[in-house]
Amino acid sequence: MTRIEHHGRNRNSRARPASRVARRGLGWVAPPLLVFGAVLAAFAILNGSASSEDAGADASARAAAGLSSTEELVTELEAAAPDNPNGYTALGDAYYQRARETGNQAFVEQAAAAYEIALSRDPGDSAALAGQATLALTRHDFRGGLELARQARQAAPRSQAPYAPLVDAQIELGQYRAAVRSIERLIGLKPNLTAYTRVSYFRELQGDLAGALDAMRHAVSAGSASPENAAFTRSLLGKLQADLGNYGAAKRSYLEALAIDPSNVSAAAGLAAIEAGSGDFDSAIRRYRALVNETGRPAHGYALAEVEEAAGMDAAARRDYARAAMLTEPGVDTRSEAAVFEADHGDSAEAVRLARGGWKVARASALRTPLLGRCSRMARWPLQSASLAKR
């Protein structure tokens, strides 16, 4: 057993389905349909190539001076990029940071274009390849992301930048032994927030929530030059604390995250789940409704409807279930999240259809195969369920 794999597995501490909030109380606070779609994006956010770390430090200094940090950085980089050998890579990282801060997908497209220019100048630009790998993963193109991350590692084997998307792709594709080796290398190169969050996620997937929590505490302690990343890490800490039943600690972590970055969506969603689980439906509904209006994400729409149903607001719940089913995220296939909802609410055939679609788009992601198997069992399709179980 490696130091990544840790010890003391706790497979029974996972969050329970959101549809049972009314009778399970705080056992609901980490609804799987919210977690399922968010995890990959969370770690794409924390990839941190070398150039983006420099950009983050620059942005932090600007923020301390009262300036519009990343926005001004983008403006400077746009002007300087043509004359700077690494300018377009740094610009791509800055565009992606802006996408994370604003939710504007146009910045993702600009990041992709900047990386393309960087690679047209230098096909061996490891940081640009790592940036492209990250963008591929956010589109759920895991095999494409894996290939790009491998190219980035080959171009710069002693750089940390390629290893974050490499680990994420390996985990999504079920290449766990390779992921352990990559995480060990990541830690060896630089034991920072980027590395510790991967250790935490791997342990969580193995059922070792206590070990995952320990690693996430190291990630929080490691800190980040980016307020967004610092806040997001605390929101991940809060999720693990909630999964382990430490709801008071989870609430404190979410509030700390929001104090650092009031616009942090994950912390707001986590706090709403805590409120719902404790029976404060009015606060949870207000918070989820604000998230739906702000992000338009289906997961938040489903969570809003779940809480309304638990609060006895049946008409509002039916309306918001229907609305959530119509919501989409640009560039992201959300059928897996919808499948979790349908599985919990009894339409097993629809759950299988959605899960199969999400599984195909994700190119047979290892993390989506169990979901399809679960839906198949609920639909009483034993042969398909058995086949998927072997995978």
User: Are 250 and 239 a contacting pair, CB within 8 Å?
Assistant: yes
Which residues in 147-169 are b (16+ Cβ under 10 Å) and which e?
bbbbbbbebbeebbbbbbbbbbb
Q: What are the sequence ranges of the domains in the chain? A: 333-391
Helix (H, G, I), strand (E, B) or coil at 232: helix
Q: How far apart are CA 379 and CA 391, in angstroms?
A: 19
Q: What is the pLDDT of residue 47?
A: 56
Helix (H, G, I), strand (E, B) or coil at 124: coil
Instruction: Dump the DSSP string for 10-42.
Output: -GGGSPPPGGGHHHHGGGGSS-HHHHHHHHHHH
Residue 256 C-beta-side C-alpha neighbours within 13 Å: 16
User: Are 292 and 300 a contacting pair, CB within 8 Å?
Assistant: yes
Question: Left (φ > 0), alpha (ψ -120 to 50) or beta: where does 245 sit?
Answer: left
Q: CB count, 10 Å around CB of 281?
A: 18
Q: What is the pLDDT of residue 327?
A: 80
Q: What is the pLDDT of residue 18?
A: 40
Q: How far apart are CA 247 and CA 179, in angstroms?
A: 31
Q: What is each CA distance from 184 to 99, 190, 331, in whole angstroms?
A: 30, 10, 32
Residue 142 C-beta-side C-alpha neighbours within 13 Å: 23
Question: Left (φ > 0), alpha (ψ -120 to 50) or beta: where does 49 sit?
Answer: beta
User: Are 54 and 127 a contacting pair, CB within 8 Å?
Assistant: no
Q: Per-10-residue mean pLDDT for the chain, 391 residues long?
A: 56 39 45 42 50 42 45 69 76 86 82 93 94 92 95 94 94 93 93 93 92 95 85 95 95 96 92 95 96 88 93 94 79 62 63 62 50 47 46 50
In this structure, is the dihedral angle defined by the CA atoms of residues 224, 226, 227 and 230, taken in order, positive or negative?
negative
Q: What is the pLDDT of residue 187?
A: 92
pTM, 2 dp: 0.71
Q: What is the pLDDT of residue 346?
A: 57
Residue 329's DSSP bridge partners are: 332
Q: What is the pLDDT of residue 355?
A: 64
User: Are 209 and 10 a contacting pair, CB within 8 Å?
Assistant: yes
